[in-house]
Structure 1
Amino acid sequence: MSGNLVQYVVVRKDLVKALKWPTGALIAQACHACTAVMHQFYQDSNTQQYLEDLDRMHKVVLEAPDEESLRKLADRLLEDNIDHKLWIEQPEDIPTCVAAKPYKKEDVQQYFKDFKLFR
């Protein structure tokens, strides 16, 4: 069912490296963004199909080097009508993560090809 759908998640690597955020805090940012985008686009047919088989969800977690690259990604997704959530941590007002709703890989892979797998 959900096997041909993927959810891309891009988190800022500099938050861990340069700003010394704990890994758990960064993981929480990705969780917030994923939860928000799934809620925001819950009625979408891709989202519904993705949620039909919870044991086979497919996510790709990538790293953005800094805030600028994350914002550029969010802007490009917005311009091309790719549904996503730019998570901005409050009250600090820090953009930390972008999560796209589930899409067919071939429909959105181009937007994420310049980002490396998160390590």
Structure 2
Amino acid sequence: MNGSNIVQYVVVRSDLIKSLEWPVGAVIAQACHAVTAVTHLFYVDEHTQRYLEDLDNMHKVVLEASDEKNLIGLKDKLEENNVKHKLWIEQPENIPTCLVVKPYPKEDIQKYFKKFKLFKT
């Protein structure tokens, strides 16, 4: 089995741009921080290693949570189901901005993200 069915979900709060008027670049940076952190935290994981074997063909799905409440609700659901992830909290403001799961086989993980839409500005 190669890494072709392995996916990484990135969920970013859309209200950061739409309501709180953060610059798009700052929001993208939040996602980058979270992806880097989860890759570091779960680097030795079998699926992470398989995902990193073919850097030119990594599959990420970037979704939006409408606000902090929805992002925290996702975090809680993932924790209940032992899904490994990283909730990025911007400091020093202590604002949850983005959640990223470690790479997983798509069929094992996609059910947790069905209610989220693709991220758009």
Same fold (TM over 0.5): yes
Distance 1:87 1:78 in 2: 15
Deviation at 1:29, TM superposition (A): 0.4
Q: TM-score, normalised by structure 1?
A: 0.99
Q: Provide the residue aligned with 1:33 in structure 2.
A: 34
Distance 1:76 1:34 in 2: 19
Q: Provide the residue aligned with 2:95 in structure 1.
A: 94
Q: Provide the residue aligned with 2:61 in structure 1.
A: 60
Distance 1:42 1:74 in 2: 20
The runs of at least 4 aligned residues of structure 1 exceeding 3 Å deviation read: none
Q: Provide the residue aligned with 1:9 in structure 2.
A: 10
Deviation at 1:108, TM superposition (A): 0.7
Distance 1:111 1:66 in 2: 17
* Unaligned ranges ≥5, structure 2: none
Distance 1:46 1:6 in 2: 9
Matched length: 119
Q: Over residues 16-41 of structure 1, what are the superposed CA-to-partner deviations in whole Å (9 max), with x where a residue is unaligned?
A: 00000000000000000000000000
Deviation at 1:80, TM superposition (A): 0.4
Distance 1:12 1:29 in 2: 10
Q: Provide the residue aligned with 1:115 in structure 2.
A: 116
Distance 1:19 1:27 in 2: 15
CA RMSD of aligned residues (A): 0.5
Deviation at 1:3, TM superposition (A): 1.0
Distance 2:27 2:3 in 1: 26
Q: TM-score, normalised by structure 2?
A: 0.97
Query: Secondary structure at 1:32's aligned position in 2?
Result: helix
